[in-house]
C-alpha cells in the first residue's frame, strides 16, 4: 500500500469561490484532510453558480470534491469553540478574505502564530496583505487587466480580451499551494509555521515571461499576437483544407524538418535562417507554409508532421478534450459523486507521483454542513 504525500496533514479551508478552493483542492488531491469551514445557510458562493444538476452546482463540485464541510459562524460563541478545537488540530489554515478580516475575528496570523507556533497560515487575496492597495477587492478579470495579461491576449488591433480560463484565480491558487508545501518543509527543519501571502495581481505579472523580457530589454511594449508566439516562429495556427491546426517548430532543427515534410525549399534563404530572422519575416513564412497546407485536410498534416517528430495538434473543444485518449490514459477526467446521487465530471490531478495513487474516482463533494457529525466525531477521537 502507498500513502499519499500529504496523508495526515489537516487543512482548515476558509476559502470561497476559486483561488483558495483551487489551492485546497490541490492539497486534497495530494492526500491532505481538508475541512471546509463555510458560512451557515449560505456556504461558498459557488454553490449558487450554474450549471446545476438536481439543484447542485457542477462548478462547486469540480473544485470542492474530496473535502468535508462544516458551517460555522465565527462571530458566534459556540461555533468559535468548535473552530478553536479545529485550529488546535490543524497543520494549515487557508483563507481568502480581505486583509484585516481574520484579525477582526481574532484569528489573524499574529494571534494564531502566538498560540499555535507550528500552524502554517495561507492567505490569497487580490492585492496581497501589504502595499497601498491591499484593501481593494478584486476578481479574476480585474487582475488579468491590471497585471498586463489582457493587453497581450486576443487579436492584433482588436479590443483586449480575458483569457478563457480564470487564470487570475487559478495561478494564484497554484502559487499558494507551492508556498504552503515549502512552508511544510521549512517547519520540518525549524519547528515553526509561516504565513504565506499570495496576491492574485502578483501572480499575473509572474507568468508574463516573454512580455517582461521584451519590455525591459527592448523598450517595446508587446501587444496581442493572436495564436502566434511573439518570440518563436513558426509557432501558431495554420489553415488546412478543412480548418485550423497548430504547428510549433520551436528551433532550427524542427524548422528544417518542417520544411522537408512540407516540401519547402528554404535552405539558404536568409529570411528564415534563424529564429530571429523568422520572427521578422513571420507573415511571409506563414503564407509559404499555408500555400502547402491548404491543399489537404488538417488530419493529413497532423499525421505527417507527427511522423516527422514536429510538435503539432488539432484545436479541440472542451468536449473533445474530455474524450482525448491521452488525457483519459493519464486519469485527467474523473468522476465525483454529488450529495443528490448525480455523478459529476471534473479534471483529474495533473501531479503524477510514483507513490500517489491516480484513480479516476474521487471522494464525494460535500453538502453544506454535511460533514458536521463526522468532523465532530473526528475531533473527539483526536482528543480535541
- Active site amino acids: 229
| C-beta neighbour count of 11 within 10 angstroms | 23
65's CB contacts (< 8 A; 6+ apart) are 25, 28, 336, 344, 346, 362, 363, 364, 365
Cα 106 vs. chain centroid, distance in angstroms? Answer: 31
Residues recorded for the chain:
384
Distances from the Cα of 245 to the Cα of 230, 261, 312, angstroms = 18, 16, 8
The phi and psi torsions of 104 (rounded to 5 degrees) equal -65, -25
Number of Cβ within a 10 Å radius of residue 320: 10
Residues contacting 18, CB < 8 A, separation 6+: 46, 63, 140, 166, 169, 170, 173
Tell me, what DSSP letter sits at residue 268? T
Q: Is the peptide bond before 234 cis (omega within 30 degrees of 0)?
A: yes
Question: Which residue in 153, 154, 130, 95 sits closest to 202, CA to CA?
Answer: 130
Q: Which residues contact 253 (CB under 8 A, 6 or more apart)?
A: none
How many whole angstroms separate alpha carbon 76 and alpha carbon 71? 12
CB 140 within 8 A of CB 166: yes
Tally Cβ neighbours within 10 Å of residue 137.
9
| Integer angstrom CA distances of residue 247 from 173, 230, 307, 311, 322 | 31, 14, 13, 6, 22
> Per-residue b/e over 354-382, b at no fewer than 16 CB within 10 Å?
eebeeeeebebbbebbebbeebeebbeee
Amino acid at each position: 500500500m502507498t500513502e499519499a504525500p500529504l496523508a495526515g496533514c489537516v487543512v482548515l479551508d476558509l476559502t470561497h469561490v476559486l483561488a483558495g478552493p483551487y489551492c485546497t483542492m490541490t492539497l486534497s488531491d495530494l492526500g491532505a484532510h481538508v475541512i471546509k469551514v463555510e458560512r451557515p445557510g449560505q456556504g461558498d458562493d459557488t454553490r449558487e453558480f450554474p450549471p446545476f444538476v438536481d439543484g447542485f452546482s457542477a462548478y462547486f463540485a469540480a473544485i470542492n470534491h474530496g473535502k468535508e464541510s462544516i458551517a460555522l459562524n465565527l462571530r458566534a460563541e459556540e461555533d468559535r469553540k468548535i473552530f478553536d478545537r479545529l485550529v488546535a488540530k490543524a497543520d494549515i489554515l487557508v483563507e481568502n478574505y480581505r486583509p484585516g478580516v481574520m484579525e477582526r475575528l481574532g484569528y489573524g496570523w499574529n494571534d494564531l502564530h502566538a498560540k499555535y507556533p507550528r500552524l502554517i497560515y495561507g492567505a490569497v487575496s487580490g492585492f496581497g496583505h501589504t502595499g497601498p492597495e491591499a484593501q481593494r477587492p478584486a476578481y479574476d478579470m480585474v487582475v488579468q487587466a491590471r497585471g498586463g495579461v489582457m493587453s497581450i491576449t486576443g487579436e492584433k488591433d482588436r479590443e483586449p480580451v480575458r483569457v478563457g480560463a480564470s487564470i487570475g484565480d487559478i495561478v494564484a491558487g497554484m502559487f499558494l499551494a507551492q508556498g504552503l508545501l515549502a512552508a511544510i518543509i521549512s517547519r520540518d527543519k525549524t519547528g515553526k509555521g509561516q504565513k504565506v501571502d499570495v496576491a492574485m495581481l502578483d501572480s499575473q505579472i509572474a507568468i508574463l515571461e516573454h512580455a517582461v523580457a521584451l519590455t525591459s530589454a527592448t523598450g517595446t511594449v508587446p501587444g496581442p499576437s493572436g495564436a502566434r508566439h511573439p518570440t518563436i516562429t513558426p509557432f501558431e495556427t495554420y489553415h488546412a483544407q478543412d480548418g485550423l491546426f497548430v504547428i510549433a517548430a520551436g528551433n532550427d532543427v524542427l524548422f528544417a524538418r518542417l520544411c522537408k515534410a512540407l516540401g519547402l525549399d528554404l535552405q539558404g534563404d536568409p529570411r528564415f535562417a534563424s529564429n530571429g530572422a523568422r520572427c521578422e519575416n513571420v507573415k511571409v513564412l506563414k503564407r509559404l507554409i499555408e500555400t502547402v497546407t491548404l491543399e489537404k485536410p488538417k488530419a493529413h498534416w497532423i499525421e505527417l508532421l507527427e511522423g516527422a517528430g514536429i510538435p503539432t495538434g488539432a484545436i479541440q473543444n472542451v468536449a473533445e478534450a474530455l474524450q482525448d485518449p491521452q488525457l483519459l490514459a493519464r486519469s485527467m477526467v474523473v468522476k465525483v459523486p454529488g450529495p443528490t446521487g448525480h455523478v459529476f465530471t471534473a479534471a483529474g490531478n495533473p501531479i503524477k507521483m510514483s507513490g500517489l495513487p491516480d484513480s479516476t474516482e474521487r471522494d464525494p463533494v460535500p453538502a453544506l454542513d454535511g460533514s458536521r457529525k463526522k468532523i465532530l466525531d473526528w475531533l473527539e477521537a483526536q482528543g480535541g
